[in-house]
Structure 1
Amino acid sequence: MITLSLVGIGSGNPDHLTREAIKTLESADVILLPRKGAEKSDLADLRRMIAAEILSTAPKIIEFDYPVRDANTPKYLDGVNTWHDALAGIWQTLLMDHVEAEGRAALMVWGDPSLYDSTLRIAGRLIARGMQLLVKVVPGITSLQLLTAAHGIPLNTLGSPILITTGRNLREFGWPEQTDSVAVMLDGECSFSSLDPTDIHIWWGAYVGMPQQTLISGPLGEVGDKIIQTRTQARTESGWIMDIYILRKIDQ
């Protein structure tokens, strides 16, 4: 039985690591470290820095190249499932080749493994394939927490729920019913621009928690174009971008 710990490491600031996260990484025999191409080398560099400078032990580091999801697959979920199968195959090979029986492996996960992240689903594929694997989760600070903290706002209004969704869902289905607040993740197309901006306020952030953190907030009709321009420029300069935002209907 191999133990695989999925360790949330926050959103780009080493200070986000909890004591539990550090202890788990230090006790690992092997740390799997994904490389997501030259454009996102900053993400791999942060993980390397954590392993080299923060941990008091020296687990073996096994780097691997992340496969790219085929965005041209007609059905979105078919493309995602194929992508996850490929990742599961890579993980299984690495764990079998580099981790002893009863050994401990760890994988550093951006943010938290439970919030719009697929590491738990991929680990589940390994178990479904018959691999003797014990999966543990170490929670991490999420970009959603960092966004609300950076803007100094509560996540929801009094007595009202908030929906956490994706840009794709916002474009396809519009504003969800029975809520006045929507948190949007995984949006590469500024999907807020598909909405009627009347009485909607936005709190947007890119690279939240990192040195290049950028924040914009205000009435959607007034700041929407500024967000689009800022996002485009930041992505061009960095080669990649991670952003998140909250939309809230505010009665005038």
Structure 2
Amino acid sequence: MDELTLIGIGTGNPDHLTLQGIAAMRAADLVLIPRKGTTKADLADLRRAICARVLGDDAPIVEFDMPRRDADGDYLDAVDAWHDAIARAWTAAGAQARRVALLIWGDPSLYDSALRIAARLAPAPRLRVVPGITALQALCAAHRIPLNDIGAPVLVTTGRRLRAEGWPPGAGTVAVMLDSGGAYESLYPAGITIWWGAYLGMPQELTLAGPLAELAPRIAQTRAAARARHGWIMDIYLMRRTDPAAKDTP
């Protein structure tokens, strides 16, 4: 593997692929597609569909089984070992090609570890990154809202941190990614509006918006039902304090 290109493909809609992304796919000798088990087969199917649309039915694809992260023990140690295992899987799957491409959900720069994994490859290939549409962009587009208030910052965090630390001090708008489910329920909901979305850009797209106090149970029910139906879920949400006088606790 002389060259590795990470191509952002948006949130599942083949139309999210940019012209730059299409050119990068066509320049690659091989496209790697990870398999994440039968419950997440749709994710591999979507990548195959994108490859077929751009490269034709005889697209140069190699599939590999995605290593699993150990759920026990220290989280950071487990992630470190997991990334090492993924790097080895990339190296083995792409061994017979010079120019290899990987299709990355959303954008490689935002809460995705592909760049950190690529840094572990030895020998190190030339690395190219093609930006893609982020889940945040797709969420705001689906709800027809701006990401930020006028002149105001936005804090992007994870469900794990929101659950452990609560509403970030001083934040007016908070975007939450990688929530395994229900971190928003740990907040005192007064004065908070939430915009939630799942499967953004896909035919099964789901969106809900409104006061957190009213929507929290409905989002949880909708999310659980969708996960049971599809076997997997990718969701994201944006929260904004619409009542500056509201406090974090009763």
TM-score (structure 1 length as normaliser): 0.93
**2:214 alignment counterpart:** 222
The correspondence of residues 165-204 of structure 1 with structure 2, limited to 5 A, is 165-204=157-196
Report whether the alignment pairs 1:140 with 2:139. no
**1:90 alignment counterpart:** 89
The correspondence of residues 146-165 of structure 1 with structure 2, limited to 5 A, is 146-165=138-157
> Structure 1's 110 and 146: CA in aligned 2 closer, same or farther, altered over 3 A?
same
Shift, 1:159, TM fit? 2.2
- Structure 2 Cα separation of the partners of residues 165 and 180 of structure 1: 13
- Structure 2 Cα separation of the partners of residues 39 and 164 of structure 1: 28
> Structure 1's 120 and 133: CA in aligned 2 closer, same or farther, altered over 3 A?
same
The correspondence of residues 107-146 of structure 1 with structure 2, limited to 5 A, is 107-126=102-121, 129=122, 131-146=123-138
Query: How far does the alpha carbon of each residue in 1:81-102 deviate from its partner, in whole angstroms, 9 at most, with x for none?
Result: 010010011112223x311xxx
Shift, 1:251, TM fit? 1.5
**1:49 alignment counterpart:** 49
**2:39 alignment counterpart:** 39
- Structure 2 Cα separation of the partners of residues 132 and 169 of structure 1: 33
Query: How far does the alpha carbon of each residue in 1:112-151 deviate from its partner, in whole angstroms, 9 at most, with x for none?
Result: 111100110000011xx4x041010000111110000111
**2:247 alignment counterpart:** none
**2:18 alignment counterpart:** 18
Q: Aligned residues: percent identity?
A: 55
Q: Which runs of 5+ in 1 are unaligned?
A: none
Contact 2:28 2:101 in 1 (8 A): yes
**1:243 alignment counterpart:** 235
Q: Secondary structure at the match of 2:120?
A: helix
Shift, 1:77, TM fit? 0.6
Count of matched residue pairs? 244
Q: Secondary structure at the match of 1:125?
A: coil
**1:105 alignment counterpart:** 100
1:221 is aligned with what amino acid? Answer: A
Q: Which consecutive aligned stretches of 4+ in structure 1 deviate over 6 angstroms post-superposition?
A: none
**1:81 alignment counterpart:** 80
**2:248 alignment counterpart:** none
**1:8 alignment counterpart:** 8
Shift, 1:246, TM fit? 0.4
1:105 is aligned with what amino acid? Answer: V
- Structure 2 Cα separation of the partners of residues 46 and 57 of structure 1: 14
1:145 is aligned with what amino acid? Answer: Q
Contact 1:28 1:59 in 2 (8 A): no
> Structure 1's 57 and 134: CA in aligned 2 closer, same or farther, altered over 3 A?
farther
